[in-house]
Structures are given as structure tokens and as C-alpha cells.
């Protein structure tokens, strides 16, 4: 359906800024008044130029959608616009960096805020709350002409070592380390571990690097330093898989899954 001059200018302004997803508040700021904004957005929706994604969030349907106005936005773009600040993380980041061939059925979004999971375009987006001090290692990338935010390779590794269940399990982490270790900045990983403070992260990551003979720089010195950061309690290699299996005391880690599943 035909756009009015006001509507065309409104959409063109956001599109020129690379903003294909906008909030109700963005529209209020554009029109410099809340009055009439809901009606304007409702008309644009009926005409097929925007689509309501969830309460207060809208997608601009581009010209490429054709006369039927059918359009599915890239999931990475959607994920980066559902809450701010946030970053695509865990298994979804692992996939973005080509560190796994598995395609997760859920898009994981890390944020220091709290938000319930939602389904948009048939995709489930799960928001994972994390303390502000652990919200770092985030990059801005360009996808289909739009900026997205994603944890970098090194923070992705740290995050999955912290919560393997959000990254396909410890086996996915092991596979990523095995196949992509040359693409990881291990100096940065070391800095991130110091910033994180050790704990179960350094136990799982240190054990995997040791048992799989991953060739990281200054390997022995680095692993020795990591062991000085581990907590006293016993952690499980694979959380949620029970508390049976041998304990590796130098890492305070219980190996509660068969070692052969790590494929090293």
C-alpha cells in the first residue's frame, strides 16, 4: 500500500541509519511527541511496511519483500535488537564464529538485564542474565548491513566453560578447542580468566587443554598459573551429569562423563 510523505520519510530516516528494528520510544523521539505515534505505527503495520515483533518493538519490512510484504529478518539481527545491552553468546556465538557445525535450536542472548524468553519468526530467543562484571569481551559485527553484538571467540570459550549446558555441553567445547585453537588469542583468554576470577571456568578449560594437549603459548606456565586460581570445592566437568567419576585433584574437577566422548 502507498506510503504518505510523512510515513516514507519516517521509514527512510531509520533505514538510512541502518536501523531495521526500532522501538516505540524510537518513534516517539522521532516525532518528538507520544501523541498519535500508536496510530501511525498501526497504519504502517496494516499497510505491511512494519511488523510488530513484540510489545514496543517493530521490524521495518524492506522493499525487497515485494508486493506480498513477506519478510523474515536474519536471526542474528533480531537477537541483537531485543534488549540492550546484550550480546549473542554461548552456542549461538560458537556457531557465529564457525567453531561448531551444530546449529542450535535456541538463540542465546547474554545480558546484565532480565528478560523472559520469546519466540519471533518461529525462533526461540533465550536471555541469559549475567552479572555486570562478567559482561565483557563483546564485539560489534556487521550482518546484512546491520550492526550486531556478539561475544568474541575468547569470551565465548570462557562463557561455555562456565555454563556448558548453554553451549552444547562439554563435548562441543572440546571440539571447538580441538579444531579452532589456532584462531583463539590465548593471551586474551588468559586476561579474561584473570578478570573472571577462576573458579569452575579455569578448572574445565585447564583440564581440557591439558588432557587434549592443546598447544597454547607458554603452556606449562599458563596452566600452572591457572591452577593457582581454582576454587577449593570440587566441580563437575559436565554439570547436570551426576557426581560419579574420578576426581582430578590438581584441577579439583570430577570427570563425570566418559573421557572417550571428548574425541581427542
Question: pLDDT per residue over 69-121, tens digit each?
Answer: 666 778 999 999 999 999 999 999 999 999 998 888 899 999 999 999 999 98
Percentage of the chain exceeding pLDDT 90: 82
CB 185 within 8 A of CB 215: no
Pair 144, 226 in one domain: no
Q: Tell me, what's the pLDDT at 248? A: 95
Residue 101 lies in a domain: yes
| Structural domains of the chain, count | 3
pTM of the predicted model, to two decimals? Answer: 0.89
Residue 13 lies in a domain: yes
Q: In what order do the strands lie in the sheet with 253-254?
A: 235-236, 253-254, 247-248
Percentage of the chain exceeding pLDDT 70: 96
Beta strands in 100-185 (DSSP E): 106-111, 118-120, 123-129, 138-143, 146-151
3-class secondary structure, 162: helix
Pair 52, 90 in one domain: no
- 148-206 pLDDT, tens digit per residue, is 999 999 999 999 999 999 999 999 999 999 999 999 999 999 999 999 988 999 999 99
Q: Tell me, what's the pLDDT at 68? A: 65
Pair 177, 263 in one domain: yes
Picking from 20, 42, 65, the residue at the C-terminal end of a domain is: 65
- 131-154 pLDDT, tens digit per residue, is 999 999 999 999 988 899 999 999
Residue 163 lies in a domain: no
Query: Which CATH number is 9's domain given?
Result: 1.10.10
Picking from 38, 65, 92, the residue at the C-terminal end of a domain is: 65
Residue 156 lies in a domain: no
Beta strands in the chain (DSSP E): 21-23, 50-54, 57-60, 87-88, 106-111, 118-120, 123-129, 138-143, 146-151, 235-236, 247-248, 253-254
Pair 92, 61 in one domain: no
Q: Tell me, what's the pLDDT at 183? A: 96
Pair 184, 128 in one domain: no
Q: Tell me, what's the pLDDT at 104? A: 85
Pair 180, 241 in one domain: yes
- 7-56 pLDDT, tens digit per residue, is 999 999 998 888 889 999 999 999 999 999 999 999 999 999 999 999 99
Q: Tell me, what's the pLDDT at 198? A: 82
Q: Tell me, what's the pLDDT at 71? A: 64
Residue 166 lies in a domain: no
Pair 45, 79 in one domain: no
Residue 61 lies in a domain: yes
3-class secondary structure, 247: strand
Q: How confident is the model at residue 264 (pLDDT cuts 50, 70, 90)?
A: low
* Angular region, 245: left φ>0, alpha ψ -120 to 50, beta rest: left
Burial class of residue 30 in the structure, from the number of CB atoms within 10 Å of its CB (0-12 exposed, 13-18 middle, 19+ buried)? middle
Per-residue pLDDT at 67 exceeds 70: no
Tell me the residue range of the domain where 85 lies: 75-151
- Torsion angle, CA of 104/138/133/176, rounded to 10 degrees? 50
Residue 161 lies in a domain: no
Q: Tell me, what's the pLDDT at 260? A: 77
252: cell is 579439583
Task: Say which DSSP state 61 is in.
Answer: P
Q: Tell me, what's the pLDDT at 31? A: 93
CA distance linking residue 159 with residue 151, whole number of Å = 9
Q: Tell me, what's the pLDDT at 89? A: 98
Residue 187 lies in a domain: yes
Amino acid at each position: 500500500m502507498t506510503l504518505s510523505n510523512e510515513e516514507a520519510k519516517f521509514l527512510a530516516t531509520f533505514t538510512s541509519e541502518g536501523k531495521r528494528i526500532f522501538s516505540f520510544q524510537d518513534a516517539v523521539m522521532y516525532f518528538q511527541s507520544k501523541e498519535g505515534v500508536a496510530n501511525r505505527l498501526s497504519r504502517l503495520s496494516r499497510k505491511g511496511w512494519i511488523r510488530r515483533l513484540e510489545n514496543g518493538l517493530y521490524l521495518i519490512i524492506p522493499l525487497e519483500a515485494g508486493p506480498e510484504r513477506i519478510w523474515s529478518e536474519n536471526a542474528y539481527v533480531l537477537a541483537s535488537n531485543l534488549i540492550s545491552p546484550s550480546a549473542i553468546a554461548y552456542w549461538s556465538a560458537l556457531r557465529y564464529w564457525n567453531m561448531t557445525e551444530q546449529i542450535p535450536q535456541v538463540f542465546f542472548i547474554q545480558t546484565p538485564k532480565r528478560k523472559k524468553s520469546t519466540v519471533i519468526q518461529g525462533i526461540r530467543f533465550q536471555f541469559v542474565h549475567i552479572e555486570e562484571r562478567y559482561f565483557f569481551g563483546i564485539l560489534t559485527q556487521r550482518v546484512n548491513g546491520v550492526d550486531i553484538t556478539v561475544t568474541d571467540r575468547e569470551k565465548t570459550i570462557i562463557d561455555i566453560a562456565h555454563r556448558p549446558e548453554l553451549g552444547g555441553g562439554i563435548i562441543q567445547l572440546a571440539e571447538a578447542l580441538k579444531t579452532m585453537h589456532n584462531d583463539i588469542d590465548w593471551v586474551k583468554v588468559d586476561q579474561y580468566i584473570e578478570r573472571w576470577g577462576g573458579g569452575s571456568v579455569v578448572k574445565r578449560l585447564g583440564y581440557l587443554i591439558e588432557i587434549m594437549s592443546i598447544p597454547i603459548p607458554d603452556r606449562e606456565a599458563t596452566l600452572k598459573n591457572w591452577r593457582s586460581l581454582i576454587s577449593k570445592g570440587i566441580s563437575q566437568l559436565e554439570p547436570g551429569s551426576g557426581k560419579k567419576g574420578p576426581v582430578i585433584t590438581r584441577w579439583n574437577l570430577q570427570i563425570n562423563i566418559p573421557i572417550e566422548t571428548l574425541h581427542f
